Amino acid sequence: MGMIDRFKSAMGWNQAPETPMREAAAAQGDRDADAGWRRLSGDGLASMNDRDLEPMAQDRMQKLAEYLWQSNLLANRLVELPLAYLLAEGVALQCVDDEHQALLNAFWSDPINNWPMKLEQRVRALGLLGEQCYIANVREGDGFVRLGYLDPRQIATVVNDPDNPEQPIGVITKRDNRGRQHKYRVIVLGEDAALFSARTVRIRAEDFTDGDVLLFQLNKFPNGSRGRSDLLGQMDWLDAYDNFLFSELDRIDYLRRFVWDVTMTGADDAAVKKYEKEFVPPGPNSVFVHNDQVNLEAKSPGLQAADTSQSARLLRNHVLGGATVPEHWFGGGGDVNRAAASEMGEPTFKVYSMRQGYLKRMLEEIGRFVLWQAAQASGEKPDWSEDRWQVTAVFPELLNRDITKFASAMASLVAAVIQMIDAGLLTEETALKTVADVAQRFGQDFDAKTELEAARAEAAKRKAEDVFQMLPTAAGPALDDGPQD
């Protein structure tokens, strides 16, 4: 043994410790931070790094939107409320040209198209799925149009123009059970050669040969290819709200339960088991007779659960706020009075008005396509700048206006402008323009200059008639004089 070893031995350093030395060690499990709750939409919809959802996520979004509309009361109201405001009184297509109006009427009321019956379903599906696609079937000879429905869930890909990614040019469907796949050309009102590059014209002519479709999409980026559901951003919160309410039902059920606690003084195990078999819980208004060795007490769970109404309101308002819907529209009055409720509804109606504008343009484009096909069949070329080719979709008023304040304002305004005209401070035309601004609140829109000329013409006509009545006739006095003596 060397000097160093003897020194260690003397110091006791060579002896094995009674407790073995171990390095400090720790382990952290990869525990799910969201244990007990998971997103209804899943990771596919939660993380998006592109302009479009992945195909699987697109399909899941559409399925979940349909599911929530059918099973979730809050989701159903978020879809049905705007639908009622937009379409409750019906929609019509109008055109100033009588011949074109007849074509639109025939298309609108055709037994297959049947827009009065199907419009509600189509607009609902547009909001839920984010897309609507109609296959155009054009009758040879007269160009009459019938539209077939292509389910957005059957769309595999929407192809955009390679030279203009904002413009869709084709729709490719998923393969059916027989492995067949269809490629449709997206309808654009005009000749391809005048609208697209030579490459795009070739692609549309050679690749999309199974027919033509009208494609309408919501909630997408300009260069995106697929539309998104109105409920996409709220799916997880809608599901969480449902789960919250079902949990509350379980809690309420637990709070209503109770057990009979029987205490037997001095009883052994055999006596307790025997009493358990013989014991019958007392019914309502019954008598329980016992001695001082038995004590019977009903006990209910004390869960110490706080009132959850505020939590429910917070979660519900988070969903409603995302849809721009006031709380009092869903039965939660809060601290809202009539005046505040009127102001709170304005943002909602702005959103509905924007959606109504999109639907208006959609139906007007369909109407123009109907006229375009009829024109092609007759050899006529439409001039979209002419009024006779313009189609107007007429929707109901979103809100019944309270015209009382406008009527009062109109009376005060008219009196004020008359005084300014008499004082030489305002021209009649400018005064009428000012009145026209208020008249628009009543739904009356007119050109001040034209209206002023018409009013002056009518005033001159009435004056001439009054003068004629005052002229004496050849046989006697003026016509408006009374009987003469």
Which tens digits make up the pLDDT trace of 367-392? 999 999 999 999 888 888 888 999 99
Q: Per mean pLDDT, which of 90-94, 418-422, 427-431 is the most reliable?
A: 90-94
pLDDT at 485: 46
pLDDT in tens, 314-332: 888 888 888 888 877 776 6
pLDDT at 333: 60
Confidence band for 219, pLDDT divided at 50, 70 and 90: very high
Confidence band for 269, pLDDT divided at 50, 70 and 90: confident
Secondary structure of 354-392 in the HEC alphabet?
HHHHHHHHHHHHHHHHHHHHHHHHHCCCCCCCCHHHCCE
pLDDT at 218: 93
Using an 8 Å Cβ cutoff, are 442 and 403 in contact?
yes
Query: What is the domain partition of the chain in residue ranges?
Result: 48-233, 235-298+308-330, 404-469
Q: What is the mean pLDDT of residues 249-255?
A: 76
Please indicate whether residue 70 or residue 275 has the higher confidence score (pLDDT): 70
Helix (H) or strand (E) holding 4, with range, is helix 3-11
Query: Is residue 40 scored above 80 in pLDDT?
Result: no
Count CB-CB contacts under 10 A for residue 54.
14
Please indicate whether residue 472 or residue 235 has the higher confidence score (pLDDT): 235
Using an 8 Å Cβ cutoff, are 93 and 367 in contact?
yes
pLDDT in tens, 111-140: 999 999 999 999 999 999 999 999 999 999
pLDDT in tens, 445-464: 777 778 777 887 887 777 77
Amino acid making up residue 258: F
Tokens encoding 51: 């302009």
pLDDT at 33: 47
Q: What is the mean pLDDT of residues 286-310?
A: 76
Q: At CB < 8 A and 24+ separation, what contacts does 300-306 make?
A: 300/255, 300/256, 300/257, 300/258, 301/254, 301/255, 301/257, 301/258, 303/251, 303/254, 303/255, 305/251, 305/255
pLDDT at 25: 46
pLDDT in tens, 171-185: 999 998 898 999 999
Count CB-CB contacts under 10 A for residue 262.
16
Q: What is the mean pLDDT of residues 272-282?
A: 85
pLDDT in tens, 141-176: 899 999 999 999 999 999 999 999 999 999 999 998
Query: Is residue 49 scored above 50 in pLDDT?
Result: no
Please indicate whether residue 42 or residue 426 has the higher confidence score (pLDDT): 426
pLDDT at 340: 57
**Global pTM value:** 0.69
Cα(457)–Cα(20) distance, rounded to whole angstroms? Answer: 115
Q: What is the mean pLDDT of residues 100-107?
A: 95
pLDDT at 146: 96
Using an 8 Å Cβ cutoff, are 227 and 130 in contact?
yes
Residue 234 DSSP SS3: helix
